[in-house]
Amino acid sequence: MSLRDSLKTIVQSVDGALTAIIMAYDGIPIDEVSVEQTEFDVQLLSVEYATVLKEIKRAVDVIKMGSLEEVSITTTRICVIVRVLNDDLFAALILSRDGNVGKGRYMLKIKSYEVLRELA
């Protein structure tokens, strides 16, 4: 299955999903799938979250509590679930505020294995 197919599967199977993206920590997008035009700039959001995620990873390394796996950030308008793929890449799922966060987390986790196989 291709990267795009994996992202499409995630977006299509999660109620309220808006965008799924694979991104490098330096802010370079690898691939992205959106179900509809969003009212916010997905690229800008992803770049800003990449910066935040780097700091969270650094903090986790400092406190030596294991490796970072997942982060979610919820605002009054959206929820973003970020899944670490490796030292260079992460996957993010952006959902509407009323989206199915539990299923989003599950799909992002199981599809991350397929994505890593595709990237190898």
**Containing structural domain, residue 84:** 3-119
pLDDT higher than threshold 80 for residue 39: no
pLDDT higher than threshold 90 for residue 71: yes
The total domain count for the chain is: 1
DSSP string, 33-91: EESS--SS-HHHHHHHHHHHHHHHHHHHHHHT-----EEEEE-SSEEEEEEE-SSSEEE
pLDDT higher than threshold 80 for residue 16: yes
Domain CATH code at residue 41: 3.30.450.30
Q: Span 16-22, mean pLDDT?
A: 94
Instruction: Work out the number of other CB atoms within 10 angstroms of the CB of residue 60.
Output: 16
pLDDT higher than threshold 80 for residue 40: no
Give CA–CA dist 11/57, Å, rounded.
26
Give the pLDDT confidence score for residue 75 in this predicted structure: 92
Give CA–CA dist 80/93, Å, rounded.
6
Distances (CA, A) of 42 to 21, 26, 63, 104: 9, 15, 31, 17
State pTM to two decimals: 0.91
Residue 65: pLDDT band (50, 70, 90) is confident
Give the pLDDT confidence score for residue 12 in this predicted structure: 95
Give the pLDDT confidence score for residue 48 in this predicted structure: 86
Give the pLDDT confidence score for residue 51 in this predicted structure: 87
Give CA–CA dist 91/87, Å, rounded.
12
The token pair at 69 is 């796996």
Give the pLDDT confidence score for residue 100 in this predicted structure: 97
